[in-house]
Amino acid sequence: MIDKEILKLMACIRCKSDLTEESDYLKCSQCNIGYPIKEDIPHMLEESIFSLDG
């Protein structure tokens, strides 16, 4: 789990929207992309982003 206060500070690097926490990634519903969470650390890098399309 990501601390809610930390989650509030995080934003999508593409569109700056708020992110929501899913089971093992953070989701941007605007871009329909996910940022992986590994060992409780969200990876907020362009190369870490995966698409949620389909």
The answer to whether 45 contacts Zn ion (rule: CB under 5 A) is no
Q: Which amino acid is at 53?
A: D
The answer to whether 13 contacts Zn ion (rule: CB under 5 A) is no
The answer to whether 14 contacts Zn ion (rule: CB under 5 A) is yes
Q: Which of 19, 26, 28, 49 binds Zn ion (CB under 5 A)?
A: 28
Give the residue nearest to Zn ion (CB).
12
Q: What pairs with residue 26 in β-bridges?
A: 21, 35
Nearest of 37, 44, 35 to residue 1 by alpha carbon: 37
- Nearby residues of 46 by Cβ (< 8 Å), 6 or more positions away: 13
Q: Which of 8, 11, 15, 43 binds Zn ion (CB under 5 A)?
A: 15
